[in-house]
Amino acid sequence: MKFSLGAVAMLASGISGVFGAPPMTPQQRDLLTLVETRDVDERSSELAPRAPTCNTPTNRGCWSPGFDINTDFEVSWPVTGVTRTYTLTLTEVNNWLGPDGVVKEKVMLVNNKIMGPTIFADWGDMIHVTVINNMVSNGTSIHWHGMHMRNTILHDGANGVTECPLPPGKSKVYRFRATQHGTSWYHSHFSAQYGNGIVGAIQINGPASLPYDIDLGVFPIQDYYHETADRIVESGGAPPSDAVLFNGTTRNVVTGKGQWYNVTLTPGKRHRLRLINPSAENHFQISLVNHNFTIIAADLVPVNAQTVNSIFLGVGQRYDVTIDANQAVGNYWFNVTFGGQGLCGVSNQVSPAAIFRYSGAPATLPTNPGTVPVDHQCNDLDNLTPVVSRTITPATFNPTTNNTLPVQLDPAGGPIFIWKINGKSINVNWDKPVLEYVLTGNTSYPASDNLIHIPQANQWVYWLIENDPDGIFSLPHPFHLHGHDFLIVGRSPDAPPGNQVRYKFNPATDNGRLRGANPPRRDVAMLPARGWLLIAFKTDNPGAWLMHCHIAWHVSGGLSVDYLERVQDIPGTVSTQDRNEFNQNCADWRAHTPLYPKIDSGLRMAM
């Protein structure tokens, strides 16, 4: 993907009027229709009741005999004997009327919806998802974001890495066990699809670190663009989003089109809400007027409860929170705002918001607009403590060329840029994925796969990511790792990204900033602008695992490496059935003639 200098300049200067401050008067948000959601019974047809359990509103830490909130799910998990089956049918629709009332030239839908169906399961269940590609012009692959895929690497859904794309007219079954519990999402890892609509949520029921009464379910918040992904990518820009969707719904307060998304709270009860950011580019600051959030999980990692009045939600990240309905019965704005001087997303939508309405309140608009929360400056919370602890010894970390990954915006002729990490821009081969080399014993890996080999087993490996400290301009990046949760060992000092303060890692001064005693752990973390991020993970999951920026424009432009972890052990984790299906799908793909040429890294170019 190409990235224009003009787009960088636009981001650097910010865009006035699009930072999503709450409206000053309720008249600015005239009521059309409240989309009532989060009825607890709405999911009964999706997930059959479990056997009697110790997991009750007063004891959410318990789950089943031998498994509770203190269980290390990287070591052990339940085996329920239950298989949850789903079918996702992917289609293309032209001239589609969007949720904000604007016709979009092309969208790609899951089961005829812009937000696909939620995958529900219990901790330890097997999940089987049949994906049917009924699109005309595109292949596809579906990635199950954050799921570790232990012993099921061929189902990770990263085309060019773990599989060939699924061609039009074909279907395949993804199979994996829910070894973790919590909240996540799925999306296409092929070309323009993820941004054009092929996305959905995952809810794995399990124990929690805080009692609660009602599970409100998943709450995805995402950016939305009127232009198609392909055209945006080809234009070389990163435009403001045209709308912010709340579970696929939005209300345009300027045109009066669309609908308010409504969530019902029960007075006096504590509610669990599962926040997801499946955006292409926008990071969000979220707040609920007159209410706090208590964080109980970050991505798929349970954490000790921490109460905040607003949350920064980066692209790809999830937070499970509880909300106490302890205010007067009424209606309250759930607001989305933007910070970081416009360098972690902006939108043309005025005051994106949803409505949280207490049961018994009239169906009217909230009257209190609330206040804009503190600017998080595109930074994650750095004081979350996982329930299941990890301890490492990073105090003597020494950066070398073998453990340092520089990120760069690389000029490629005039005002156009591509993205590099570790000196290369990834460009996968759809026809011959990395795991085909592994399974056939071929070690002639192309340089364009940007592989990093990690042969050692069950050891902590450290990776210092440095964000172009000497480049012309630097943006924050949400880095996501497949196959693992990583420890956030440290990051550069906090600074507004617009100030472009240069921080290059210096062991003499920065080793004191590192945290080895139970640091935050997750699968997406923000790399500060012109700063650094030090992460670590344990080599206990053989596979080919991408680590990439989750901003669609950036991974489309090549901002990814591929960790080839314990290559010698990978074949032993692959079943005969998986290998046969892998070979057949690649044969089907090679027999297919794509309608359009591959124009990006092959991993994603989104909305």
pLDDT digits (tens, 9 = 90+) for 160-180: 999 999 999 999 999 999 999
pLDDT of residue 470: 86
Percent of the chain residues topping a pLDDT of 70: 87
Q: Which position has the higher pLDDT, 30 or 322?
A: 322
pLDDT of residue 552: 87
Under 8 Å between Cβ of 480 and 550: yes
CB proximity list for 173: less than 8 A, separation 6 or greater: 128, 129, 130, 131, 581
Under 8 Å between Cβ of 431 and 569: no
Under 8 Å between Cβ of 177 and 152: yes
Going edge to edge, which strands form the sheet with 260-265?
34-37, 260-265, 353-358, 331-337, 284-288, 311-313
Q: What pTM, to 2 d.p., does this model score? A: 0.92
Task: With cut-offs at 50, 70 and 90, classify the pLDDT of residue 44.
Answer: very low
Q: What is the C-alpha to C-alpha distance for residues 59 and 549, in angstroms, rounded to an integer?
A: 38
Q: How high is the mean pLDDT of the chain? A: 89
Q: Which position has the higher pLDDT, 246 or 230?
A: 246
pLDDT of residue 45: 35
CB proximity list for 29: less than 8 A, separation 6 or greater: 23, 251, 253, 260, 351, 353, 365
pLDDT of residue 233: 75
DSSP 237-267: --PPBSEEEETTB-B-TTT--B-EEEEEE-T
Task: Look at residue 17 and tell me whether its pLDDT is greater than 50.
Answer: no
Per-residue pLDDT averaged across 199-226, rounded?
A: 98
pLDDT of residue 572: 97
pLDDT digits (tens, 9 = 90+) for 392-449: 998 789 999 999 999 998 866 444 468 999 999 999 999 999 999 999 999 999 999 9
Q: What is the dihedral of CA 98, 104, 110, 116, to 10 degrees?
A: -40
Q: What angle do CA 134, 137, 142 make, to 5 degrees?
A: 60
pLDDT digits (tens, 9 = 90+) for 87-109: 999 999 999 999 999 999 999 99
Task: Look at residue 548 and tell me whether its pLDDT is greater than 80.
Answer: yes
pLDDT digits (tens, 9 = 90+) for 526-540: 999 999 999 999 999
Among 23-32, 278-287, 413-422, the minimum mean pLDDT is found in 23-32
Task: State the first-to-last Cα distance of the chain, in angstroms, to the nearest integer.
Answer: 13
Task: Look at residue 505 and tell me whether its pLDDT is greater than 80.
Answer: yes
Residue bearing tokens 């972890």: 565
pLDDT digits (tens, 9 = 90+) for 287-338: 999 999 999 999 999 999 999 999 999 999 999 999 999 999 999 999 999 9
pLDDT of residue 234: 75
pLDDT of residue 110: 97
Task: Look at residue 518 and tell me whether its pLDDT is greater than 90.
Answer: yes
Percent of the chain residues topping a pLDDT of 90: 81
Residue bearing tokens 């999911």: 43
Mark out the alpha helices in 69-222 (DSSP H runs).
Answer: 193-196
DSSP state, 509?
A: H
